[in-house]
């Protein structure tokens, strides 16, 4: 499904709202913005669909309209809530291969962008410095289509932008042609994925990949190479994918985040993350021999 021009998303918490009959694998249900009348007290905002030329006010890539519905609001009759993760898992393509211009952004990229900013807006109602209620920077500068997604404090002038937390995720292989997969205690039963974690202050990406691997599994890695990245707003991450080679140590899960970690061969895999994530993309690259 290719989408150009304008689109609208309805969110409530971590769910995408849509009329009944719309399946999760649609990713972008075609819902007119006029339906916002059914959701009083919602945060309704518009952002450029692409970001490459937004600073110059170029919105030729179209705009995204969003309706962020309060968590306590009941849904109107014949509406449903589809978890955003479920919608992404239903997407069969790779989110990491979109390298074209902004006006060819897929529905999934627009969904990720809209969902990230909707969450940030809920968390940035008040200034983090003085506590005054923030305004939209675009409204303060005369309104119209926002060229910059930002909050402005009218009391102290502090500007706030959408928060992005870099996180590394690493596909680790050994000399036997196996890859390291781990079961995080937050995962569904039986699901294994790659070692991942947030980058610490003062740390570069490669150091973060090595540290997270050491802390969570007890092994050392080398030959750390960047592969791909992906926005992942759960809640506000940018996932940066690497490949690496095992160099030393014995697997010892930390028991805090990681309950189990093992080496797996291509013909003996556990349950894997759903399609649409950078972890599944990296694993897929390893499976087809291109990584």
36-75 residue pLDDT tens: 999 999 999 998 877 654 444 454 567 889 999 999 999 9
Output the pLDDT for position 101: 39
Confidence of residue 140 (pLDDT cuts 50, 70, 90): low
Percentage of the chain beyond pLDDT 70 is 82
Confidence of residue 104 (pLDDT cuts 50, 70, 90): very low
Q: Tell me: pLDDT of 18 over 50.
A: yes
Q: Tell me: pLDDT of 187 over 50.
A: yes
- Among 175, 177, 173, 176, residue whose Cα is nearest residue 195: 173
Per-domain boundaries in the chain: 7-122, 124-162, 165-287
Quick one: tokens of 244?
A: 């690496």
In whole angstroms, give the CA distance from residue 63 to residue 110.
9
Output the pLDDT for position 110: 84
Greatest mean pLDDT among 58-72, 91-105, 124-138? 124-138
Q: Tell me: pLDDT of 86 over 70.
A: yes
The domain defined by 165-287 carries CATH number 3.90.79.10? yes
> pTM for this structure?
0.85
pLDDT average, residue stretch 152-172:
96
Output the pLDDT for position 76: 93
Output the pLDDT for position 3: 37
Q: Tell me: pLDDT of 109 over 60.
A: yes
Confidence of residue 7 (pLDDT cuts 50, 70, 90): confident
């Amino acid at each position: 499904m290719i989408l150009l021009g304008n689109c609208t998303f309805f969110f409530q918490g971590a769910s995408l709202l849509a009329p009944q009959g719309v399946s999760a694998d649609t990713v972008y249900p075609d819902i007119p913005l006029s339906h916002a009348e059914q959701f009083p007290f919602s945060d309704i905002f518009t952002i450029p669909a692409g970001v490459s030329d937004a600073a110059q006010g170029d919105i030729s890539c179209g705009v995204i309209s969003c309706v962020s519905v309060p968590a306590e609001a009941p849904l109107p009759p014949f509406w449903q809530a589809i978890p955003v993760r479920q919608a992404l898992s239903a997407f069969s393509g790779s989110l990491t291969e979109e390298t074209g211009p902004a006006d060819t952004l897929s529905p999934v990229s627009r969904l990720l962008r809209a969902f990230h900013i909707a969450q940030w807006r809920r968390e940035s109602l008040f200034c983090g410095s003085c506590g005054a209620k923030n305004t939209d920077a675009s409204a303060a500068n005369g309104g119209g289509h926002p060229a910059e997604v930002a909050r402005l404090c009218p009391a102290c002038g502090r500007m706030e932008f959408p928060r992005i937390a870099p996180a590394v995720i690493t596909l680790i292989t050994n000399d036997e042609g196996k890859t390291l997969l781990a079961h995080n205690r937050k995962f569904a039963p039986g699901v294994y994925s790659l070692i991942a974690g947030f980058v610490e202050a003062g740390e570069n990406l490669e150091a973060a990949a090595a540290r997270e691997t050491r802390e969570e599994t007890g092994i050392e890695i080398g030959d750390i190479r960047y592969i791909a990245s992906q926005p992942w707003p759960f809640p506000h991450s940018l996932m940066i994918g690497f490949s690496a080679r095992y160099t030393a140590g014995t697997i010892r899960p930390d028991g805090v985040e990681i309950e189990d970690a093992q080496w797996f061969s291509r013909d003996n895999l556990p349950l894997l993350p759903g399609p649409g994530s950078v972890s599944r993309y990296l694993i897929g690259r390893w499976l087809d021999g291109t990584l």
